[in-house]
């Protein structure tokens, strides 16, 4: 558990992502103090409607991430189709066209690892439902850097392979239901880093 | 309480950052390959991968060999300039080129096209085939440039793994291709080789967007998914080069999620249609 | 002072034109209280009394119509007369056949507005006090209506930059017409007044006014029909027309193309405002484009495309017609089709370039033909822009014509202006020397040629390494045209600069031929490679003019 107040949240999901995220994002207030960066495994088609989909349901601002954009609080950034999303040391976003990871581009590991480098302890990483092991190594990197690692409980997850791989790779990770993760995020937003939650 | 351990990873990370900085500086001073202004997160990933796969326990150890053994250079470069592409990648881009750019290009008696950062050549062959289909190949000179000599050699060979051609063919069709892609290549021994006549109008050359200057006047520049690897100042330099190279009302094509929005040259271009990522040089 | 200079220049230039031998004298003397006379006397052919009568009225031709052809001595004299008048002075003429002429400009030493004569007076021709010749009736006007309202049609002048501030007032109410006329003169217009639709059409087509104020209620036809006819005629459709009327035809007028509409009674201030706005629009000068195209349909299409409020098009269907026009007119730009019935577009360009007698505007080649690389290169010597006809070509043509029309010398960058000024000096080291430029980027070819040619160098061009070798071969066969120095671009198709340089060095005849490589590559080892290939020196792009010149001077063989 981190002693430093988190400055950013990164989330990765694959199969079942929309349902899981619908239990998290719409509840966040417009003035949520942290940025949230999300990789969902999506097809490489040019147009992805997920950001608009969530924007219509959320109070918090929701956008597709742009290359060289500065990360702003109170904003949810989705990685665009067919590009990896990376975080720079100066907390700006970068895109990359490197090879897919686990057949995925965007890949969760890429986001998580670069975010861990950039934010260190001040980061919360969350792995949700999914059908492959993308994100496991990344979550471990976040935990190793002193950040907070959370995995969706496989029992409530649409697809279990991803959370299971993450739990396997990252022993420090807290396993939570979507509801608990939601509460955790809201408390984060109010300034409580969730010390009261069961491990 | 785990505070001492919590701080340890941060310290060693910072050392890694120093090592990366020193290696890039050494690479530039020794071999004049300048990656110092590339976006760092991506460089770090690639260097970590290089270190791991080449079997070094630290970036400094890798740096030592790179500086002292010139044979290490191409091996390191292959990690730093990885660029995976496809023939007719992102078919809607080529469709837009066909429908919106080609009609303008027809008004010129001769044409010059620049594929900047051509890597292993997939994008180059896409353009030559498209221009051939549109009857413009004979009046065009194609310049294919990159900093990676190995990649250029592969581009010049025009040979790719055969299983990739399924995707190439599909892409070509979606882009509005007027013939079958198989008209342009022959298959043998698990490889597909593009017809050498496609290279008749092509100039392959080493050229760095970081250090080199304008070399010819262009009507169309395609530079896709290269700028994202540069930091902002370097992106501005590159776009500045493109601006200077382009003829009046010339065209610049970028990758599907790239844009000129944050560029200091944004005012010099206007986008043909939102989402096309094809920009036209404006009057001023 | 400026106006006085104009007058003197005009008089002097005429004097020189008509004086084959002898001399031209400029004299200045006091004449009476507070006045001076400047006279230009020549020993030229002189003029008969009849000629003296008409010399200031060169606008009029025998049939009384006003010629739209500009240039020539008479126009200058008309302007000079007007300018002298405005300065509070007069021009007079003394002349005799075979004995030369003396033009005198008499002016007050200090400007005195009270001394400015009203415009209607004709200058005294001192040879004979004959009354001013009455204009004969214009041959084309079918009517002979007495002019009801006095206007400026007899006194039209044209400013040196071809701006014409003529307002055509179409109004049968004499009082109102007079108000409009006076108001427009106050705003700096010259006014023409027509009181019928027919007269209006004649005046409009003949004088091509800059703007029109039109009343709908005319005795012979509705003013709206005048509006319609003017807007449908390619020649006049760009003239802004403001409609003033007693009954409300606003919608119709505006839909027919009027720029504005006012209902009578109109306040003077509102009228003044309308004229002011028209005047502001016209402050932009009128541009002239020459369209050379033999196909009627295509020519018409191009003229329609380009004609606008500030662009006037003139057409020629053959090379001969084009040359004729360029002999005594200037244009801001020329659009040229290559296939003309009597000569090729290229031959026409060569003629224009070679012969001083023709003005040579910037040329845009507009052709339906595919061009070979050779053709293109030949044409590029004379034409800045080559457009192949097609779906998008009208757009491009319009764009490039606008570009040429709005580029003014003062818009050149400081560097360019410096270059132009400096280039007037021949450079001893370069004088008569032959330099081969091997360069793929046409802009650099222009830039280099513009730097070196004015300094006396003779330039040869090759587009790639192989062509360079061919040129060198041909040149070394004859000593007089041997190349003295090569500027070699590195990155070129077919054969790049390094390969070409190596090939040059392999030939013993060219071992000492200076080769300077021009490279876009900036790193030390790239430049090392140039030297190793056999170059004497290198220059990095973007090219620094001064540095390039000094390199050329350094390496030019003595």
* pLDDT tens for each residue of B128-147: 999 999 999 999 999 999 99
pLDDT at residue C496, rounded to an integer:
86
Considering only residues 502 to 521 of chain C, which have any Cβ-Cβ distance to chain B shorter than 8 Å?
A: 520-521
User: HEC profile for C287-299?
Assistant: EEEEEECCCHHHH
| Residue C391 half-sphere exposure toward CB, CA atoms < 13 A | 8
* Among C370, C393, C523, beta carbon nearest to B32: C523
Q: Which residues of B touch C (CB under 8 A)?
A: 32, 103-104, 106-110, 139, 141, 143, 201, 203, 205-208, 211-217, 244, 248-249, 283
Class of domain A8-161+181-190: alpha beta
CA distance C39 to C27: 5
Interface check for B12 against chain A (CB to CB < 8 A): the answer is: no
The model's pTM: 0.68
Tokens standing for residue C329: 């007119």
In this complex, how many residue pairs, one in chain A and one in chain B, have their CB atoms less than 8 Å apart? Answer: 84
B9:A80 CB<8 A: no
pLDDT at residue C331, rounded to an integer:
85
B103:C443 CB<8 A: no
Catalytic residues of A: 14, 41, 134
* pLDDT tens for each residue of A115-166: 999 999 999 999 999 999 999 999 999 999 999 999 999 999 999 999 999 9
Interface check for C530 against chain B (CB to CB < 8 A): the answer is: no
pLDDT at residue A198, rounded to an integer:
47
Exposed (0-12), middle (13-18) or buried (19+): which is A23, by Cβ within 10 Å? Answer: middle
Residue of chain C with shortest Cα separation from B241: C542
Cα angle A178, A183, A187 (rounded to 5 degrees) comes to: 145
Considering only residues 56 to 95 of chain C, which have any Cβ-Cβ distance to chain B shorter than 8 Å?
A: none
Residue of chain B with shortest Cα separation from A68: B232
Secondary structure (3-state) at B248: strand
Q: Which secondary-structure segment (H or E) carries C76?
A: helix C73-86
Interface check for C391 against chain B (CB to CB < 8 A): the answer is: yes
Decide: C238 and C195 in contact? Cβ < 8 Å.
Answer: no
Judging contacts by C-beta atoms under 8 Å, the chain C residues touching residue B104 are: 392, 395-396
pLDDT at residue C65, rounded to an integer:
35
- Tokens 């541009």 correspond to what residue? C287
* Among B84, B90, B92, beta carbon nearest to A99: B84
Interface check for B232 against chain A (CB to CB < 8 A): the answer is: yes
Chain B contact probe: residue of C520, C526, C527 with most B CBs at under 10 A: C520
Considering only residues 42 to 81 of chain B, which have any Cβ-Cβ distance to chain A shorter than 8 Å?
A: 42, 44-46
pLDDT means over runs of 10, chain C (558 residues):
69 72 83 82 77 55 33 50 71 81 81 59 36 38 54 66 74 89 85 90 85 88 86 74 82 77 85 80 73 93 84 92 89 91 91 84 90 87 88 90 65 44 62 91 82 87 91 84 92 86 93 92 83 90 82 85
CA distance C135 to C153: 12
B262:A98 CB<8 A: no
Interface check for C528 against chain B (CB to CB < 8 A): the answer is: no
Which CATH number describes the domain made up of B91-281? 3.40.50.150
Q: Which chains touch C (3 or more CB pairs under 8 A)?
A: B
C390:B208 CB<8 A: no
C396:B207 CB<8 A: no
C166-282 and C414-555 agree in CATH topology: yes
B41:A94 CB<8 A: yes
Residue of chain C with shortest Cα separation from B30: C525
Judging contacts by C-beta atoms under 8 Å, the chain B residues touching residue C305 are: none
Domain regions of chain C by residue span: 2-115, 166-282, 287-407, 414-555
Decide: C514 and C486 in contact? Cβ < 8 Å.
Answer: yes
Q: Which residues pair with C437 in a beta bridge?
A: C461, C487
Decide: C453 and C475 in contact? Cβ < 8 Å.
Answer: no
Q: What topology is assigned to C287-407 in CATH? A: Rossmann fold (3.40.50)
Positions in chain B short of pLDDT 70: 1-13, 284
β-pairing, B140-146 vs B202-206, is: parallel
Closest approach of B41 to chain A, Cα-based (Å):
5
CA distance C270 to C179: 13
Residue of chain C with shortest Cα separation from B216: C441
Interface check for B83 against chain A (CB to CB < 8 A): the answer is: yes
Phi, psi at A66, each rounded to 5°: -120, 145
C396:B107 CB<8 A: yes
Choosing among 3.40.50.970, 3.40.50.2000, 3.40.50.2300, 2.170.150.70, the CATH entry for C166-282 is 3.40.50.2300
B257:A83 CB<8 A: yes
Exposed (0-12), middle (13-18) or buried (19+): which is C62, by Cβ within 10 Å? Answer: exposed
- DSSP label at B139? G
Judging contacts by C-beta atoms under 8 Å, the chain A residues touching residue B259 are: 66-67
* Among A86, A97, A120, beta carbon nearest to B84: A97
CA distance C158 to B98: 51
Judging contacts by C-beta atoms under 8 Å, the chain B residues touching residue A146 are: 6-7, 9-10
Phi, psi at B18, each rounded to 5°: -65, -45
Could you tell me which of C516, C457, C452, C451 has the C-alpha nearest to residue C489?
C516
The correct answer on CATH 3.40.630.180 for the domain covering C414-555 is no
Which CATH number describes the domain made up of C2-115? 3.30.565.10
Chain B contact probe: residue of C491, C498, C529, C543 with most B CBs at under 10 A: C491
* Among B83, B84, B228, beta carbon nearest to A95: B228
pLDDT-derived band at A44 (thresholds 50, 70, 90) equals confident
Interface check for C402 against chain B (CB to CB < 8 A): the answer is: no
Chain A contact probe: residue of B257, B260, B264, B265 with most A CBs at under 10 A: B257
* Among A68, A144, A145, beta carbon nearest to B232: A68
B213:C389 CB<8 A: no
Residue of chain C with shortest Cα separation from B142: C493
**Residues contacting C29, CB < 8 A, separation 6+:** C36, C37, C39
Could you tell me which of C281, C229, C280 has the C-alpha nearest to residue C256?
C229
Order of strands across the sheet with B278-281? B202-206, B140-146, B111-116, B218-222, B246-253, B278-281, B269-271
Helix axes A108-119, A136-144, angle to 10 degrees: 10
A94:B3 CB<8 A: no
Residue of chain A with shortest Cα separation from B13: A117
Closest approach of B109 to chain A, Cα-based (Å):
34
Residue of chain B with shortest Cα separation from C493: B203
Helix axes B72-80, B59-68, angle to 10 degrees: 130
A97:B40 CB<8 A: no
CA distance C365 to C337: 6
Closest approach of B262 to chain C, Cα-based (Å):
26
Domain regions of chain A by residue span: 8-161+181-190
Phi, psi at B206, each rounded to 5°: -75, 130
What DSSP string runs through C259-270? SEEEESS--HHH
Long-range contacts of B168-171 (CB under 8 A, 24+ apart): B168/B86, B168/B87, B168/B88, B168/B122, B171/B86, B171/B87, B171/B88, B171/B89, B171/B90, B171/B91
Q: Which chains touch A (3 or more CB pairs under 8 A)?
A: B
CA distance B103 to C333: 25
Q: Which chains touch B (3 or more CB pairs under 8 A)?
A: A, C
Decide: B231 and B39 in contact? Cβ < 8 Å.
Answer: yes
Judging contacts by C-beta atoms under 8 Å, the chain B residues touching residue C376 are: 109-110
Q: Which residues pair with C486 in a beta bridge?
A: C436, C515
Decide: C and A in contact? Rule: 3+ Cβ pairs under 8 Å: no
């Amino acid at each position: 558990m981190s002693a430093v107040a988190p400055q950013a949240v990164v989330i990765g999901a694959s199969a079942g992502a929309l349902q899981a995220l619908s239990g998290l994002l719409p509840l966040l207030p417009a003035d949520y103090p942290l940025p949230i960066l999300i990789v969902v495994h999506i097809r490489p088609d040019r147009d992805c409607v997920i950001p608009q989909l969530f924007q219509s349901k959320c109070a918090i601002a929701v956008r597709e991430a742009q290359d060289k954009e500065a990360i702003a609080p109170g904003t949810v950034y989705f990685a665009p189709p067919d590009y990896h999303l990376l975080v720079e040391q100066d907390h700006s976003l970068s895109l990359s066209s490197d090879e897919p990871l686990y057949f995925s581009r965007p890949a969760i590991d890429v986001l998580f690892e670069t975010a861990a480098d950039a934010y260190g302890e001040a980061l919360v990483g969350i792995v949700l439902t999914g059908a492959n092991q993308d994100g496991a190594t990344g979550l471990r990197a976040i935990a190793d850097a002193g950040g907070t690692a959370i995995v969706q409980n496989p029992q409530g997850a649409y697809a279990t392979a991803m959370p299971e791989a993450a739990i396997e790779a990252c022993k420090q990770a807290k396993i939570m239901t979507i509801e608990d993760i939601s509460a955790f995020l809201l408390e984060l937003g109010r300034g409580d880093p969730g010390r009261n939650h069961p491990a | 309480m785990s505070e001492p351990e919590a701080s340890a990873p941060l310290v060693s990370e910072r050392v890694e950052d120093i090592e990366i900085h020193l290696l890039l500086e050494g690479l530039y001073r020794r071999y004049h390959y300048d990656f110092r202004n590339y976006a760092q997160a991506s460089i770090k990933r690639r260097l970590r991968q290089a270190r791991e796969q080449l079997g070094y326990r630290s970036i400094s150890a890798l740096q030592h060999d790179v500086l002292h053994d010139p044979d290490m250079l191409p091996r390191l470069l292959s990690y730093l300039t990885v660029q995976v592409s496809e023939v007719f990648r992102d078919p809607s881009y080529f469709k837009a080129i066909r429908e919106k750019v080609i009609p303008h290009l027809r008004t010129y008696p001769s044409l010059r096209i620049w594929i900047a950062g051509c890597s292993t050549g997939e994008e180059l062959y896409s353009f030559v085939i498209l221009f051939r289909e549109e009857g413009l190949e004979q009046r065009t000179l194609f310049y294919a440039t990159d900093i990676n000599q190995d990649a250029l050699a592969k581009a010049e060979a025009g040979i790719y793994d055969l299983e990739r051609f399924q995707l190439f063919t599909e892409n070509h069709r979606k882009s509005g291709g007027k013939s079958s892609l198989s008209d342009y290549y022959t298959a043998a021994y698990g490889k597909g080789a593009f017809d050498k006549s496609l290279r008749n109008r092509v100039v392959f050359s080493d050229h760095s967007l970081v250090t080199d200057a304008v070399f010819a006047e262009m009507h169309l520049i395609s530079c896709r998914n290269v700028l994202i690897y540069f930091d902002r100042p370097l992106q501005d330099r590159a776009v500045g080069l493109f601006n200077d190279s382009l003829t009046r009302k010339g065209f610049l094509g970028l990758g599907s999620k790239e844009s000129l929005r944050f560029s200091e040259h944004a005012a010099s271009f206007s986008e043909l249609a939102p989402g096309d990522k094809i920009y036209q040089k404006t009057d001023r | 002072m400026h106006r006085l200079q104009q007058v003197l220049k005009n008089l002097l230039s005429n004097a020189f034109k008509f004086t084959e031998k002898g001399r031209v004298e400029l004299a200045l003397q006091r004449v009476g209280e507070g006045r001076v006379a400047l006279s230009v006397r020549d020993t030229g052919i002189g003029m008969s009394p009849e000629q003296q009568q008409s010399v200031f009225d060169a606008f009029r031709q025998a049939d009384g119509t006003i010629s739209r052809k500009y240039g020539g001595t008479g126009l200058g004299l008309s302007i000079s007369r007007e300018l002298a008048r405005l300065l509070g002075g007069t021009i007079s003429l003394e002349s005799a056949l075979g004995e030369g002429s003396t033009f005198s400009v008499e002016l007050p030493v200090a400007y005195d507005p009270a001394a400015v004569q009203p415009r209607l007076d004709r200058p005294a021709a001192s040879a004979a006090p004959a009354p001013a010749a009455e204009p004969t009736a214009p041959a084309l006007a079918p009517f002979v209506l007495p002019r009801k309202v006095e206007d400026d049609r007899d006194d039209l002048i044209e400013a040196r930059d071809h701006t014409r501030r003529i307002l055509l007032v179409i109004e049968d109410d004499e009082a109102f017409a007079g108000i409009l006329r006076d108001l427009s003169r106050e705003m700096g217009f010259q006014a023409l007044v027509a009181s019928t639709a027919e007269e209006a059409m004649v005046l409009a087509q003949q004088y091509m006014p800059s703007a029109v104020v039109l009343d709908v209620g005319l005795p012979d036809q509705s003013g709206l029909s005048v509006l319609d006819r003017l807007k449908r005629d390619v020649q006049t459709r760009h003239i802004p027309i403001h409609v003033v009327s007693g009954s409300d035809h606003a919608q119709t007028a505006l839909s027919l193309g009027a720029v504005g509409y006012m209902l009578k009674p109109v306040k003077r201030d509102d009228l003044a405002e309308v004229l002011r706005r028209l005047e502001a629009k016209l402050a932009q000068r009128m541009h002239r484009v020459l369209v050379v195209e033999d196909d009627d349909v295509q020519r018409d299409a191009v003229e329609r495309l380009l004609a606008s409020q500030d662009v006037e098009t003139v057409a020629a269907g053959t090379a001969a017609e084009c040359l004729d026009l360029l002999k005594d007119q200037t244009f801001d730009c020329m659009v040229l089709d290559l296939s003309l019935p009597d000569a090729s577009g290229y031959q026409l360009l060569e003629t224009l370039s070679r012969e001083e007698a023709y003005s040579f505007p910037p040329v845009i080649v507009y052709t339906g033909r595919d061009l070979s690389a050779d053709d293109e290169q030949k044409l590029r010597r004379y034409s800045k822009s080559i457009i192949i006809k097609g779906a998008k070509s009208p757009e491009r043509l319009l764009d490039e014509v606008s570009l040429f029309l709005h580029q003014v010398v003062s818009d050149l960058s400081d560097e360019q202006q410096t270059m132009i000024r400096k280039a007037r000096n021949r450079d001893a080291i370069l004088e008569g020397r032959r330099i081969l430029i091997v360069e793929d980027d046409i802009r650099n070819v222009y830039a280099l040629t513009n730097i070196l040619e004015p300094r006396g160098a003779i330039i040869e061009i090759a587009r790639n390494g192989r062509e360079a070798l061919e040129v060198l071969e041909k040149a070394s066969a004859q000593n007089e045209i041997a190349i003295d120095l090569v500027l070699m671009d590195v990155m070129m198709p077919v054969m790049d600069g390094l390969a070409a340089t190596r090939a040059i060095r392999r030939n013993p005849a060219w071992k000492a031929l200076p080769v300077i490589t021009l490279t876009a590559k900036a790193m030390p080892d790239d430049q090392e490679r140039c030297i190793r290939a056999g170059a004497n020196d290198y220059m990095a792009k973007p090219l620094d003019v001064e540095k390039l010149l000094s390199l050329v001077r350094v390496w030019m063989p003595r």
